[in-house]
Structure 1
């Protein structure tokens, strides 16, 4: 249902958190913001890392200048405008006005692209990679603004030179840290054989944590470091990159579910009516004035079409990072007079419900859909589907192909010998290549497509099974065909004389 309406599924986890929370049905009391802040910071590390790793630089490079301007100056402008609005219109003191603008000025890439992917919204003017880079890279700047405002609140008098020094150290150390750890990780992955499904993913998780921790301890921007490290690794030729990206994508999804659930759990829905007028006013100003104005100021000099500017402005959804920075604001100072957490909670709900639901509609109304583009190609985990399937087997002694040239053997129709693995080395097959005993042959052929008439099921041979100990030709009914046997992690292609043993897993086709 959510997919049909266009509402991001993460909304469910906010509602679940509210259901389990203090004001919900299950009355679970959880208001430890310090502990929540630590958990959220860890979750955001992986969200930021995947945001960088999933960015395909070849498609992002043409729009990199605009995207970086939007994610840096655009984020600062948006936060500043919201701060001015909160101070002069809503009566916030300067510190809390700027803090509110800082925590809410970044956008949530995952929410936007979950809609773009599910709806396959292919956008004009390279808008998809522009949104991807801008949304993925503006969180560090929102974090930086939050740190600066919190430091000014808790540190008393804080000169402009001190703020500039903090800004410089955060950015420079963050960039250097991200580049260094990414290059180190790249060399380790290439030079050392850790292409194991557990080892390489565990290594990547460790790199993400280290890329954040070391710059953070050196007074740098850990989130910026993590994002840059992700970009470099995601666009490097490393072993099992697609599998690693798929793992990171799944992990990021879990982290986002956790963050939104935690937001709901920490919230008190009974407080929402109290902040509703204030939060709704900020949400309207942010959505219809602050972000569109920042977008217009930065993109008009590039002669960007008005409809593209309007769509980018509408795509500025708030999400996980705003949650983390709101919690950080609460734990960073005890002198707040406004309920910033519930204000942010309300704004995130508004953003997901209204902007998320209407995003496909806005794209169509602004004529931003381009059927000649493919939004999935802007991500590093995209691979062009090929209608090819591969079959691998080892040439045993006495096989009819042993000792023959490839040109002399008859392959199955519409098949090609794609690769030969001989003594652990790859051999490209040619017509005069002679096949030898022990060669592993890889055959390629056209994909058969979905075959609904074939029904497969699996069966384990137990100690009481009547098939136990018998030959397939003697014990298996004619209506069944065993096409595969898994025996102690070994794959066996059976024939009629194959004997079945206890704990064999049989894969059976029936009529």
Structure 2
């Protein structure tokens, strides 16, 4: 929906600024409607920016799902324009809707089935680890081709296949991730190389001004409006909606989609490509360097739960359902301070000062020791907490986690009695943890914040099932949250409408209450006069 809204809003501006037809304007909008997930998360990693989990998940889902829709719209519009068709608006919308459902539906089905097939084949075939990444890549290309052969979206199919396989218990997952990470970088390098080969800078001055205006329109109007309309039903705070609206960087996907009109032989194909090229540059220049400062300004950066961690994962042959992990004990980590290793983890070897010894003969672990541990494949993340150094921000830091802790199991009615935050009767029957979870839309994450009247509740910790296990309370908002005057959610809109209706009725009620005593007092003299005369 967001891609279609962006395409439509941007297409209107392109129609008036570039004198293109409506179909060509929509084609340009579809080409630049998709965001570049790689650019966004590269900037976050490079700046060591830890976003709130809900914001990060929103960006990941959006970046992964909008590419197939943008590709479908672009290819469909190129085919319509190349065929010199001029369909009526209702016919065009109907055909696009039917084609979209068929394309995405077939792509989704083949993608899920392909992901399950990849997992099954990797487990059944005893291939060498050096051949396994190539084999998985070949299967992915087959999934893409199969979806395209039956009229489905190959891009959506490959994305879902990777999603299914990546979240399954697949063999040699570490090797596969390293290979795919390298391949993704290679693919991006090739895409930008293709961009340079197709670009003709001598043609840019003629369209520079309208292209820059369109780029700014996309950044400040089209995408924010589309994101806000899509996120209205969700109870996302305005700073989070504003950040998602701003970080829609354009990159490699927009470049490839802008090449499609050239390959389709459209008359204005070169113009569309040049404009898209400049829009991508404007997006990277204007938005790229502001991702970190804006996240800090809106209070969306949370402290890392773990400090630096030196860890190596070694894959065991067969299906042992165990992993061999190599940790270097970090200074200040729990094990360096004497914390015991759980019984389900089996330390087998310790390296200290170039010597290898049994764990039982080492005594207390010291900083710099390298420990090899066998652990069940579902527990490695738990060991990270023992071997990582102390986080940069202490869990008791009042700036991030409140002045003092609050028991999540206490009744919310106690908050109402102590601080009068204005809870409803239904909310007072909940626990504090349930109240915070409800205010967050049913899902709480580490460092989430909820303003309730004069107090602010902060999630200090959650367990593996997403249940709140620690809360903090602050009397004043300590996060550097900027007030965003737009991007109201559905709940905020409803509250403002209700407040407007109440304020609108108050003058009428006040006027009625003032006139009522006068109306009642008017007959009294008549009664007295009648009594006197009698």
Structure 1 unaligned blocks of 5 or more: 1-72, 394-400, 421-425, 427-445, 450-511
Tell me, yes or no, if structure 1 residue 292 matches structure 2 residue 224. yes
Q: How many residues align?
A: 335
Q: What is the aligned-residue RMSD (CA, Å)?
A: 3.3
Among residues 16, 25, 28, which one is paired with 1:88 in the alignment?
Answer: 16
Task: Note closer, same or farther for the CA distance 1:129–1:338 as it changes in structure 2 (3 Å cut).
Answer: same
Higher relative contact order (CA 8 A, sep 6+): 1
Residue 246 of structure 1: aligned partner: 178
**2: CA distance between counterparts of 1:83 and 1:239?**
46
Tell me, yes or no, if structure 1 residue 301 matches structure 2 residue 233. yes
Task: Note closer, same or farther for the CA distance 1:368–1:83 as it changes in structure 2 (3 Å cut).
Answer: same
Tell me, yes or no, if structure 1 residue 129 matches structure 2 residue 61. no
Residue 120 of structure 2: aligned partner: 187
CA displacement at 1:165 relative to structure 2: 2.9
**1: CA distance between counterparts of 2:244 and 2:307?**
15
**2: CA distance between counterparts of 1:105 and 1:295?**
12
Tell me, yes or no, if structure 1 residue 263 matches structure 2 residue 195. yes
Residue 319 of structure 2: aligned partner: none
CA displacement at 1:354 relative to structure 2: 1.8
**1: CA distance between counterparts of 2:76 and 2:141?**
23
**1: CA distance between counterparts of 2:305 and 2:189?**
30
Task: Note closer, same or farther for the CA distance 1:265–1:239 as it changes in structure 2 (3 Å cut).
Answer: same
Residue 142 of structure 2: aligned partner: 210
Residue 314 of structure 1: aligned partner: 246
Aligned partners of 2:262 and 2:270 also within 8 Å? no
Aligned partners of 1:123 and 1:369 also within 8 Å? yes
Task: Note closer, same or farther for the CA distance 1:345–1:373 as it changes in structure 2 (3 Å cut).
Answer: farther
Aligned partners of 2:249 and 2:284 also within 8 Å? yes
Aligned partners of 1:79 and 1:101 also within 8 Å? yes
Q: Matches of residues 51-62 of structure 1 in structure 2 within 5 Å?
A: none
**2: CA distance between counterparts of 1:271 and 1:98?**
22
Residue 354 of structure 1: aligned partner: 286
Residues 262-310 of structure 1, C-alpha deviation per residue, up to 9 Å, x if partnerless? 2122211122212211210110110000000011112132121111111
Residues 211-261 of structure 1, C-alpha deviation per residue, up to 9 Å, x if partnerless? 111111211111111111111111111111122111101110111011112
Task: Note closer, same or farther for the CA distance 1:303–1:89 as it changes in structure 2 (3 Å cut).
Answer: farther
Residue 208 of structure 2: aligned partner: 276
Tell me, yes or no, if structure 1 residue 115 matches structure 2 residue 40. no
Residue 317 of structure 2: aligned partner: none
Task: Note closer, same or farther for the CA distance 1:419–1:364 as it changes in structure 2 (3 Å cut).
Answer: closer
Tell me, yes or no, if structure 1 residue 340 matches structure 2 residue 272. yes
**1: CA distance between counterparts of 2:388 and 2:155?**
46
**1: CA distance between counterparts of 2:228 and 2:206?**
34
Task: Note closer, same or farther for the CA distance 1:223–1:344 as it changes in structure 2 (3 Å cut).
Answer: same
Q: Secondary structure at the match of 1:79?
A: helix
| More divergent stretch after superposition (218-227 vs 161-170) | 161-170
TM-score, normalization by structure 2: 0.58
CA displacement at 1:124 relative to structure 2: 2.7
Residues 12-37 of structure 1, C-alpha deviation per residue, up to 9 Å, x if partnerless? xxxxxxxxxxxxxxxxxxxxxxxxxx
